[in-house]
Each structure stands twice: as structure tokens, then as C-alpha cells.
């Protein structure tokens, strides 16, 4: 069962960013399903690495928009990105060292972070970009 389903209220009204958020949620849900089904740690690690790689791509997309359109909140926003990347790195290290049992609760922190960040910081960025004519 998906931990989080995409709904329109998560939209930041910038197409490229919305599509990437949907892809991130898809990976997050695959990861959650793998944990629920007690899949092998190598599968979890593969999904986590997929999430880390895609998150890097996504953050560089948002940060490119921030730089291109001189977004005034970019410093705080970029710092929030660093926090999630650090958290994901910690999860990869934990799974690599065999910490399966606590993985699920650690992992839920990631999905909460994601939704909070999208609903607040990314929406602020989207609103700003909309004022610059970006959708
Ligand atoms: Fe962001
Ligand atoms: Fe985002």
C-alpha cells in the first residue's frame, strides 16, 4: 500500500518540478512496499540509491530555477535540501551495515520531511516562479 499518494494539493504549479515530485513519491512508495514485504536488504539498498540519485537530480533542478530567477529564499531552501540528502546518506549507511529492523521508522521520517518540504518550501518557490511567468 502506498505510504503517500500524489494529490493535486501537492502541486507547486511548475510542471517540471511536479513531475519530479511524482517520481520521487513513486520511489518512496516502492521503498515502503519493499520494507512492508520484508524484502532483502540488497533490494532496499538499490531503491534507496535510486531515491538518492533522483533526489540529487531533483534538487539540482530546483536550485537551477532558484539561481536563474534570483529566488530570495534560496539559502534556506538549499540548506533544507542538504538536510534530506544527509538523512538519506545515513539511511544508505544504516542499511549497508545491516540495520533492517529500525529502517521503517527511519524511513517514515523521510516521507514526512518530503511532504513538509513540498507543502511549504517548494510551494513558496513555485509561487515565486509563477510570478516570473514559469509554470
Ligand atoms: Fe525543494
Ligand atoms: Fe522539491
pLDDT (tens digit per residue) in 25-56: 999 889 888 888 889 888 988 998 999 999 99
Q: How far is the CA of 86 from the centre of ligand 1 (A)?
A: 14
Tell me the CA–centroid distance for residue 68 and ligand 2, in Å: 16
Please tell me the predicted confidence (pLDDT) of residue 101: 46
Distance 82 CA to ligand 2 centre (A): 12
**111-135 residue pLDDT tens:** 777 888 999 999 999 999 999 999 9
Q: 59 CA distance to ligand 2 centroid (A)? A: 6
Q: Name 122's Cβ contacts closer than 8 Å, sequence gap at least 6.
A: 12, 17, 21, 62
Q: Which domains does the chain have, with CATH numbers?
A: 22-131 (1.20.120.50)
CB 116 within 8 A of CB 79: no
- Which ranges constitute the DSSP H helices of 37-122? 41-68, 74-96, 103-117
* C-alpha cell, 111: 516521507
Distance from residue 66's CA to the centre of ligand 1 (Å): 10
pLDDT in tens, 73-98: 999 999 999 998 988 888 888 888 88
pLDDT at 89: 87
Nearest to 88 by CA among 131, 122, 54, 65: 54
Helix axes 15-36, 41-68, angle to 10 degrees: 160
* Cα of 111 from ligand 2 centre, angstroms: 12
pLDDT of res. 103: 57
Amino acid at each position: 500500500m502506498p505510504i503517500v499518494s500524489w494529490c493535486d494539493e501537492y502541486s507547486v504549479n511548475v510542471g517540471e518540478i511536479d513531475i519530479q515530485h511524482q517520481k520521487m513519491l513513486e520511489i518512496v512508495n516502492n521503498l515502503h512496499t519493499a520494507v512492508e514485504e520484508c524484502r532483502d536488504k540488497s533490494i532496499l539498498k538499490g531503491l534507496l540509491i535510486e531515491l538518492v540519485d533522483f533526489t540529487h537530480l531533483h534538487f539540482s533542478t530546483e536550485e537551477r530555477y532558484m539561481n536563474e530567477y534570483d529566488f530570495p529564499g534560496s539559502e534556506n531552501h538549499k540548506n533544507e535540501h542538504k538536510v534530506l540528502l544527509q538523512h538519506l546518506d545515513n539511511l544508505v549507511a544504516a542499511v549497508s551495515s545491516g540495520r533492517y529492523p529500525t529502517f521503517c521508522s527511519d524511513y517514515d521520517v523521510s516521507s514526512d520531511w518530503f511532504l513538509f518540504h513540498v507543502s511549504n518550501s517548494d510551494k513558496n518557490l513555485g509561487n515565486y516562479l509563477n510570478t516570473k511567468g514559469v509554470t
